[in-house]
Amino acid sequence: MVGSLPPVTVPLPRRPLDESDQVRRWYENELGWPVVPANEGEPENRRTAVRLRTGLRFDVLDVPAEAGRAALRHLAAGSPVAVQGDRMRLLVAAGSAEELPGVLRWLEWGALALDLAVLGEGGLMDAPLPPAGEPAGARPPAPGRPGVLQGAAVWLRPPGPGCEVEASLPTVSALGGGGGAPDLVRVVDTVATQCHRLRLVRACAQPLAFS
Is residue 108 over pLDDT 70?
Answer: yes
Q: Are 116 and 67 in contact (CB under 8 A)?
A: yes
Q: DSSP for 54-98?
A: PSSS-EEEEEEHHHHHHHGGGS-TT--EEEETTEEEEEE-TTHHH
**pLDDT for the residue 45:** 52
What per-residue confidence (pLDDT) applies to 113?
Answer: 87
Say if CB 16 and CB 25 are below 8 A apart.
no
Beta bridge partner(s), residue 83: 88, 154
Residue-level pLDDT at 164: 75
Tell me, rounded to whole angstroms, the distance of Cα 64 from its chain centroid.
13
Q: Which of 210, 60, 47, 195 shows the shortest CA–CA distance to 125? A: 60
- What's residue 98's pLDDT? 96
**Rg (Cα) of the chain, in Å, rounded?**
22
Q: pLDDT tens digits for 159-200?
A: 987 657 888 899 988 665 556 789 999 999 999 999 999 888
Per-residue pLDDT, 110? 86
Q: Which of 86-95, 160-169, 201-210 has the highest mean pLDDT?
A: 86-95
The predicted structure's pLDDT at residue 163: 58
- Prediction pTM value: 0.77
Among 13-22, 58-67, 141-150, 196-205, the minimum mean pLDDT is found in 141-150
For the segment 26-73, what is each residue's pLDDT rounded down to a tens digit?
Answer: 999 889 999 998 665 555 555 456 899 999 999 999 999 999 999 999
